[in-house]
Amino acid sequence: MTSETILTALRAFINARPSFDWRNYQGAPEAYRADYAVAYRDLQDARVLLRACALASVSADDLRAALTDARRLTLNSETGALEFTACQYPPTEYRAAACRALADALERHYMPGVPDRAALLRVLRNVLGARLVRRWF
């Protein structure tokens, strides 16, 4: 499986609708809006991380290793689709799991060229920006 195939699977996974169930929020529209905001922020972060992986030409091996280390996100080798195991509420968790896997892949990609973690974070700050580095690294 190539890195393009894996990135395409990640893109499809990230862009899937969160499928919030309004019945879980009866009488609490502010809770719905809060969960929606979390899901939307994770979507934006995942898109930036995905684009960074594509632009940096992260290898398929790094992506596979990151997905293997992700505890709740696995790549089905037969179908090429991502499978997610939720803990509590999938609409607010699945994009964050993808962000963690993409962040791990970027870390694996850039780590061999830098001497220590502080230098790695400086490189990633230049690539992604300070907010994403603080949140995902």
SS3 category, 70: coil
CA-CA distance, 62 to 13, in Å (whole number)? 18
CA-CA distance, 57 to 7, in Å (whole number)? 10
Query: Whole-model pTM above 0.75?
Result: yes
User: Element (H or E) spanning 74, and its range?
Assistant: strand 73-75
Number of helices (H), then strands (E), in the chain: 6, 2
Grouped pLDDT means (10 residues each) for the chain, 137 residues = 93 92 87 93 98 97 92 84 84 92 96 93 96 96
